[in-house]
Structure 1
Amino acid sequence: MVEIERKFIVDKEEVANIIRNKEGKAIIQAYLTESTEISVRVRKKGDKGFLTIKGKSEGIRRVEFEYEIPAQDVEQMLAAMPLPRVEKTRYEVEYAGKCWEIDWFHGENEGLVLAEVELTHEAESIAIPPWVSKEVSNDARYFNQYLAFHPFKTWANR
């Protein structure tokens, strides 16, 4: 399967107003690799577990395979192994016919809020919400895998 998505930094205050009455899903994901060629992670999203393998990004597209696994397996891996992780709450917001996923980061990535939107093809035109401030789709520092190994709180120039 191919994932095509764009990623943006958002205005935290405006987004906070938008998600105020929405229920988000807690996500904890841990990475088994630090390679730029492949990403292998386990994720607990709500009460479900997933194993995800992603290939190297080519622009805004990359190969992705995701498999549901028992949530207890993810919990045991997180407890038993010192895996670099990302913790966030995900909110879904509809804008101009697209579902935008807003990730409000916690822990070592506290202070970072990103929005992602999945596309059907790379040239798809989308309406950009007014609460978006900067596109970071091709900036690897904003990939979750990078954030797990190099948390946002440690960045000198945020």
Structure 2
Amino acid sequence: MRPTLDAMGIEIERKFLLAGDAWRRHADAGTRVRQFYLAIREGLTVRVRLREGRKPMITIKTGAGDARGEYEYEVPEADARELEAARVGFVVEKRRHLVPLGDLTVEVDVFEGALSPLVMAEIELPAVGHAVDLPDWIGREVTDDPRYTNAAMALNGRPDGDAPQR
């Protein structure tokens, strides 16, 4: 049986580059996101995310591809800020916009700082293989390209650019 989004600890998502900015007509104002990694290795990442208006979270992701293990836990803000000193790579900063797409939501990340001007879209799915009618502003799929994971970019910078300054 293939995992579904309802299964505990499973994240099913597809990632895309964008082919235009028509998404902006349907997007919310966005939320600032600041995240860093405590561990990055093949098949495992440990991330701390501070997101405007929400409690900080520590997230453990396992596996690769469109269906991965994902475990999230709240962490006190003071602890999250102290953990940053132990980070691997540099801090990833972005503004996340939500765009409705039928019964799904597209999360559009507009990266800032060293990863600018990269803009990517993620769509979380209820099941592997769930059909999605993609709008024309969605470009090339990069779900299976490990260079486009936030963890890889925290270490190596934009896949199409120079390595960031730490």
TM-score (ref. length: structure 1): 0.88
> Which residue is equivalent to 1:25?
31
CA distance in 2, matches of 1:12, 1:131: 5
> Which residue is equivalent to 2:58?
51
- Tell me, yes or no, if structure 1 residue 143 matches structure 2 residue 149: yes
CA distance in 2, matches of 1:13, 1:100: 13
Q: How far apart are residue 140 of structure 1 and its match?
A: 0.5
Matched ranges for 1:9-20 at <5 A: 9-19=17-27
> Which residue is equivalent to 2:120?
114
Number of equivalent positions: 151
Q: How far apart are residue 154 of structure 1 and its match?
A: 1.2
Amino acid at match of 1:29: Q
> Which residue is equivalent to 1:129?
135
Q: How far apart are residue 12 of structure 1 and its match?
A: 4.5
Q: How far apart are residue 15 of structure 1 and its match?
A: 3.4
CA distance in 2, matches of 1:11, 1:105: 16
Amino acid at match of 1:111: P
> Any idea what the Cα deviations from partners look like across 1:33-69, whole Å, max 9, x if unmatched?
1201200011101142000000021x31110100011
- Tell me, yes or no, if structure 1 residue 7 matches structure 2 residue 10: no
Q: How far apart are residue 17 of structure 1 and its match?
A: 4.5
**Counterpart contact for 1:24–1:91, Cα < 8 Å:** yes
Q: How far apart are residue 96 of structure 1 and its match?
A: 2.2
Gaps of 5+ in 2: 1-8
Runs of 4+ in 1 over 4 A off after TM superposition: none
Higher helix share: 1
Q: How far apart are residue 133 of structure 1 and its match?
A: 1.1
Match of 2:44 among 28, 38, 43: 38
> Which residue is equivalent to 2:5?
none
Gaps of 5+ in 1: none
Q: How far apart are residue 98 of structure 1 and its match?
A: 1.0
- Tell me, yes or no, if structure 1 residue 88 matches structure 2 residue 106: no
Q: How many percent of aligned residue pairs carry the same amino acid?
A: 34
CA distance in 2, matches of 1:71, 1:25: 17
CA distance in 1, matches of 2:127, 2:26: 27
Amino acid at match of 1:64: E
Matched ranges for 1:66-105 at <5 A: 66-78=72-84, 80-81=85-86, 83-84=88-89, 85-105=91-111
Q: State the Cα RMSD in Å.
A: 1.6
TM-score (ref. length: structure 2): 0.84
**Counterpart contact for 2:98–2:108, Cα < 8 Å:** yes
> Any idea what the Cα deviations from partners look like across 1:50-109, whole Å, max 9, x if unmatched?
00000021x31110100011122222222x345422111101010122111000001110
SS state of the match for residue 32, structure 1?
Answer: strand
**Counterpart contact for 2:34–2:92, Cα < 8 Å:** yes
